[in-house]
Chain A
Amino acid sequence: MTQENRINGGQIDRTKTLRFTFDGHPYTGHPGDTLASALLANGVRLMGRSFKYHRPRGPISAGSEEPNAIVELRTGARQEPNTRATVAELFDGLEANSQNRFPSLKFDLMGINDRLSPFFAAGFYYKTFMWPASFWEKIYEPIIRRAAGLGSLTREEDPDQYDKGFLHCDILIIGAGPAGLMAALTAGRAGARVILADEDFRMGGRLNAETLTIGNHSGADWAEDTVRTLAQMPNVRLMPRTTVLGAMDHGIYSAVERVSDHLPVPAPGKPRQILWRIYSRQAILAGGATERPIAFENNDRPGIMLAGALRTYANRYAVAVGDRVAVFTNNDDGLRTATDLQAKGIDIAAVIDTRQEGDLLPGIRHLKGAQVIDTAGKLGLKSITIRHANGRSETLSVNALGVSGGWNPNLNIASHHRGRPVWNDAIHAFTPPTDGPRNLTAAGAAAGALSTHAALSTGAAQANAALEALGLKTHTADIPKAEDAPLNLTPFWYVHEGKGRAWIDQQNDVTVKDVKLAKQENFTSVEHLKRYTTLGMATDQGKTSNVTGLAIMAELTGRTIPQTGTTIYRPPYTPVAMGALGGRSRGHDFKPTRLTPSHKWASEQGAIFVEVGMWLRAQWFPKPGETTWRQSVDREVLQTRASVGICDVTTLGKIDIQGRDAGAFLDRVYANTFSTLPVGKVRYGLMLREDGIVMDDGTTARLGENEWVTTTTTANAVPVFRHMEYVRQCLYPDMDVQLISTTEAWAQFSVAGPNARKLLQKVVDQDISDAAFPYMACANITVCGGLRARLFRISFSGELAYEIAVPTRYGDAMIRELMKAGEDFGAVAYGTESLGVMRVEKGHVAGNELNGQTTALNMGLGKMVSKKKDSIGMVLSQREGLTDEKGLRIVGVKPVDPSQPLTAGSHFLDKGAAATAANDGGWLTSVVYSPHLGCSIALGYLKNGSAGIGDRMRAVNLLAKTEVEVEIVSPHFFDPEGERLRG
């Protein structure tokens, strides 16, 4: 292709040619082009279809406000939907595709929606799909989802990296147009640490799009010189391709830098994008302004653009969008389009100026008091019809039309803290709120200072104000000479003539007619208007449409614009890829993986691992010949109970507690008493929340007079530690007690079974006979001839059992030593499944029973809550409702027919009772297969459970569709007298 619309000038590099495709057709462009400018250079104006009516659309802008030219970039795993062609930097080999059309952009079957538009007016969905309710999910929603929607996802994993980064500065300057560049120059020369961020790949803002001069230079040259000067300042960081997304609290701004979006593939080791968190002491919003259109009949044809965008394409990208152009304006800025384009040799058919007053442009057909009332051209503009001031109508053949309804300051970021924009009667637009984010000021067009001179001088002034606030020396900058012309805008929002198919929000297809309908149905508040018509809800968030919609509503209701209201903005300023927000936290890196000290050894044994919180724990250890997990678990349990088994229990939380008041402190955080525990002994403890519900349980050992160690459940290690610090610092600040989490410091193994002592005696240096080291004893000991260790004689399995702890770096050596010492006894390693089987056989509660809803009384441990001392939760555990003698109690459950398996989550029902909530008797919490009993067994909570022992009930699970006749038994299935663990 030939780039037939390319004209002279511009900031593109003609020495290099870039090849790209759009919908499969090959085209060429140059470095410095966007996808939109390159397509326009090749005569392609049709770039998309609208959301609702599938109307043919081309770009209306040359920036990030673009509602129409929304495309898919790249193919394969790097395909990216819903990107704006107007800001997509062209690169060699780019493959772009249009979206929301079938089968092709030029012939779209869904274009039928346009013919049906009378049925799709505002509120269509609310009114049409109300009834019948059951149709919504199955019929309406799938159809709407297929018909609507924009781009598509590849469903392939994104191969690129996204990073997160942190930056600090004295002054953050958002936007690098004349105001931002002048502010950066002033602050940079004063020595402040400056960050200058701009969403464009070329800094300069509107200076690159205009033919205005600064001093003796063209605006674009001045911008280039200034950027070069700034780049040499070590205290200034220039961040092109970086969009500041939002103002967070306390001077923190989020920004996304598109590091590699302009490359086919990111360079090795480089991310595609970086999400920056910028900590600033002062910030200046210099984000410029966005031009707004005027609404008129059929104003959405490809070729109709914002007047400033036509200038951008001509001046910056050297593209003539059309060869016969008209301009429709209500202000002087629009006139620049006519003079600039005419100077480029483009034929100006007419300037249609809604204003009666003012001078006429020389050498141009300048029509005062005129309006554009309709247009023609199905896939692109062919002609416009105008109404002259004298009432006569005329049709002009043109293929491009520039429209200017004025400029709206880009104040979005200044209202991110809910500050209300302020209406400015001089420029007929909203300006930044007075109660915006602290230490943020606005300069240039973003502040409503629309001329180049005003941009330069407010940029310098706000930089100096920021320097002063920081206590730095200000810098008196020479403001170069630049134009200072007024806008001379006479408000004109929409052409009244026509059927009202005059587009306000082009992406969401909201027309003047929709706003009229909203008014008619009394949705006149701004918030209702938005939600009823979807005005401003699309990916562009109404950058070109919100104020116009609001102004039309004001006119219809006879109110002023400030009386009608305003819309405020929320982050992000422009859409952000989920990948950038996720950064590196994806897949396995979403959270850390914690490995137990025996992990390497367990892997060597072929262990199957399970995620327990962040931990990976061995679930079972399959042996050759075992084909199901049950075979492995049964073997581990039986062998442990017959001889000895070893399990890594490092994941349990460990907290060292030291100090003279440690015992008294434990009395406060645990419901039972610890201060009476003798040195060298361990006690089980139950921890309550202040509301009386059980928070956690575990054992606490007293290793010395003032030296204690508490264990927590794996899941609660962090919350319990936080809670203990809260009690220590906030409630009892003068207690002599210190806490430290030692979960990672000790590798801990459970050694359980009748031969546990014999095994351990082979590695422990001290005497651990029953007399020397009885049940519930603990001690600091040594193993293997001198390695310091801790030994606790505690049992979760119900067997004679110990837990032995060694410094973590010896954990791997310890498991190997223990297994070697156990060879004579046929010792087995067992995992979390066997741990669960043995604790259920023994009737010990664990996570399923400590579910955040249950009390000590429910667990059959009510007597543990001491009333003789104050402890967290003691008082409220006595609340009515928590003390019901006939309430839920822990029970054991067995199937009457041992061959029937139980299902966790089943509910207890009396024989013959219907499966309704009213008849619910409680539920099964934990179910295991007990190889010792040869059947499925369970723990559960049963209403009035202690009285129910011996009863027969039904365990019903409506989800799993199971029903089993069960016998209620004691929760202590195995060795109820505890003879084995005392052995």
Chain B
Amino acid sequence: MIINHPLLGPRDAQEFTYLGDAALIDRPDALSFPSTEAALDAFHDYLYLRDNPAGEHRELWFHEQGDRSWLVVTRNTVTHEITKVELARDVARAKGRSK
């Protein structure tokens, strides 16, 4: 596969390592829950309940043999067509993540 890196242009997928669902970006804030039970429930869902679509999937790739950018790659899991590549940092910021 070829991943069109937003900063570096088209790069071979062999330069990257794969992590998984980009929903990992939506990590809950551990200190925002009223009880330990509520935090455990939220983290359980966050870590273990993932969509596994046959079709479009947003996923995290790390340019390990390159510039070390984490990317959010929108890839069709059936055809392997890649329709969008973004810097994970930009995606995280757009979701309101900061420090």
A residues whose Cβ falls under 8 Å from a Cβ of B: 248-252, 279, 417, 438, 661, 664, 690-691, 718, 722, 725-726, 729-735, 869-871, 874-876, 878-879
Q: Which residues of B contact A718 (CB under 8 A)?
A: 64
User: Are A730 and B44 within 8 A (Cβ)?
Assistant: no
Q: Which residue of A lies closest to B2 (CB)?
A: A250
Complex formed: what's the CA distance from A732 to B93 in Å?
A: 9
Instruction: Scan residues 34-50 of chain B and give those whose CB is less than 8 A from a CB of chain A.
Output: 36, 39-40, 42-44, 47
Complex formed: what's the CA distance from A871 to B43 in Å?
A: 12
Min CB distance, A559 to chain B, in Å? 28
Partner pick for A878 among B25, B36, B79, B91, CB 8 A cutoff: B36
Complex formed: what's the CA distance from A876 to B30 in Å?
A: 10
> Could you show 6 A-B contacts with beta carbons less than 8 Å apart?
A250-B82, A279-B2, A731-B27, A732-B98, A878-B36, A879-B40
Q: Which residue of B lies closest to A880 (CB)?
A: B40
Min CB distance, A673 to chain B, in Å? 14
Partner pick for A252 among B2, B43, B60, B98, CB 8 A cutoff: B2
Q: A733-B97, A870-B30 are in contact. Are A876 and B79 (CB under 8 A)?
A: no
Q: Which residue of A lies closest to B30 (CB)?
A: A870
Complex formed: what's the CA distance from A125 to B7 in Å?
A: 57
Q: Which residue of B lies closest to A878 (CB)?
A: B36
Q: Which residues of A contact B81 (CB under 8 A)?
A: 438
Q: Which residues of A contact B99 (CB under 8 A)?
A: 661, 664, 732, 734-735
B residues whose Cβ falls under 8 Å from a Cβ of A: 1-2, 13, 17, 19, 24-25, 27, 29-31, 36, 39-40, 42-44, 47, 60, 62, 64, 68-70, 79-82, 87-93, 97-99
Q: Which residue of A lies closest to B94 (CB)?
A: A733
Q: A722-B62, A726-B70 are in contact. Are A731 and B47 (CB under 8 A)?
A: no
Q: Which residues of B contact A871 (CB under 8 A)?
A: 30
Min CB distance, A248 to chain B, in Å? 8
Complex formed: what's the CA distance from A869 to B99 in Å?
A: 13
Q: A731-B25, A733-B89, A734-B93 are in contact. Are A876 and B40 (CB under 8 A)?
A: yes
Q: Which residue of A lies closest to B43 (CB)?
A: A875
User: Are B70 and A875 within 8 A (Cβ)?
Assistant: no
User: Are A730 and B89 within 8 A (Cβ)?
Assistant: yes
User: Are B69 and A729 within 8 A (Cβ)?
Assistant: yes
Complex formed: what's the CA distance from A4 to B91 in Å?
A: 75
Q: Which residue of B lies closest to A874 (CB)?
A: B30
Min CB distance, A33 to chain B, in Å? 40
Q: A870-B29, A876-B44 are in contact. Are A734 and B98 (CB under 8 A)?
A: yes
User: Are B36 and A730 within 8 A (Cβ)?
Assistant: no
Q: Which residues of B contact A438 (CB under 8 A)?
A: 79, 81
Partner pick for B39 among A249, A691, A875, CB 8 A cutoff: A875
User: Are B43 and A733 within 8 A (Cβ)?
Assistant: no
User: Are A249 and B97 within 8 A (Cβ)?
Assistant: no
User: Are B30 and A875 within 8 A (Cβ)?
Assistant: yes
Complex formed: what's the CA distance from A730 to B24 in Å?
A: 8
Complex formed: what's the CA distance from A251 to B4 in Å?
A: 14
Complex formed: what's the CA distance from A417 to B78 in Å?
A: 9
Q: Which residues of B contact A875 (CB under 8 A)?
A: 30, 36, 39-40, 42-43
Q: A725-B62, A730-B24 are in contact. Are A690 and B47 (CB under 8 A)?
A: yes
Min CB distance, B95 to chain A, in Å? 9
Q: Which residues of A contact B40 (CB under 8 A)?
A: 875-876, 878-879
Q: Which residue of A lies closest to B27 (CB)?
A: A731
User: Are A722 and B30 within 8 A (Cβ)?
Assistant: no
Complex formed: what's the CA distance from A732 to B39 in Å?
A: 19
Q: Which residues of B contact A248 (CB under 8 A)?
A: 1
User: Are B69 and A876 within 8 A (Cβ)?
Assistant: no
Complex formed: what's the CA distance from A481 to B95 in Å?
A: 64
Q: Which residue of B lies closest to A166 (CB)?
A: B12
User: Are A722 and B17 within 8 A (Cβ)?
Assistant: yes
Complex formed: what's the CA distance from A791 to B93 in Å?
A: 38
Partner pick for B70 among A252, A729, A734, CB 8 A cutoff: A729
Partner pick for A730 among B42, B70, B80, B82, CB 8 A cutoff: B70
Complex formed: what's the CA distance from A732 to B97 in Å?
A: 6
User: Are A690 and B2 within 8 A (Cβ)?
Assistant: no
Min CB distance, A406 to chain B, in Å? 32
Known: A250-B2, A250-B80. 12 other contacts (CB 8 A): A249-B80, A725-B68, A729-B87, A730-B91, A731-B92, A732-B97, A733-B92, A733-B93, A733-B97, A875-B36, A875-B39, A876-B43
- Would you list the 4 A-B pairs with minimal beta carbon distance, nearest first? A870-B30, A734-B98, A733-B89, A250-B2
Complex formed: what's the CA distance from A145 to B2 in Å?
A: 42
Q: Which residue of A lies closest to B36 (CB)?
A: A878
User: Are B88 and A730 within 8 A (Cβ)?
Assistant: yes
User: Are A726 and B92 within 8 A (Cβ)?
Assistant: no
Partner pick for B31 among A249, A252, A664, A870, CB 8 A cutoff: A870
Q: Which residue of A lies closest to B90 (CB)?
A: A733
Complex formed: what's the CA distance from A250 to B88 in Å?
A: 23
Partner pick for A726 among B42, B62, B93, CB 8 A cutoff: B62
Complex formed: what's the CA distance from A252 to B11 in Å?
A: 12
User: Are A729 and B1 within 8 A (Cβ)?
Assistant: no
Complex formed: what's the CA distance from A249 to B14 in Å?
A: 12
Q: A691-B47, A722-B17, A876-B40 are in contact. Are A729 and B89 (CB under 8 A)?
A: yes
Q: Which residues of B contact A879 (CB under 8 A)?
A: 40
Q: Which residues of B contact A870 (CB under 8 A)?
A: 29-31
Q: Which residues of A contact B97 (CB under 8 A)?
A: 731-734
Complex formed: what's the CA distance from A733 to B72 in Å?
A: 14
Complex formed: what's the CA distance from A279 to B81 in Å?
A: 16
Complex formed: what's the CA distance from A279 to B68 in Å?
A: 24
Min CB distance, B69 to chain A, in Å? 7
Q: Which residues of A contact B80 (CB under 8 A)?
A: 249-250
User: Are B30 and A730 within 8 A (Cβ)?
Assistant: no
Min CB distance, A42 to chain B, in Å? 48
Q: Which residues of A contact B2 (CB under 8 A)?
A: 249-252, 279
Q: Which residues of A contact B44 (CB under 8 A)?
A: 876
Q: Which residue of B lies closest to A691 (CB)?
A: B47
Q: Which residue of A lies closest to B39 (CB)?
A: A875
Q: Which residues of B contact A731 (CB under 8 A)?
A: 25, 27, 92, 97
Min CB distance, B9 to chain A, in Å? 13
Partner pick for B64 among A249, A722, A733, A869, CB 8 A cutoff: A722
Q: Which residues of A contact B70 (CB under 8 A)?
A: 725-726, 729-730
Q: Which residues of B contact A250 (CB under 8 A)?
A: 1-2, 80, 82
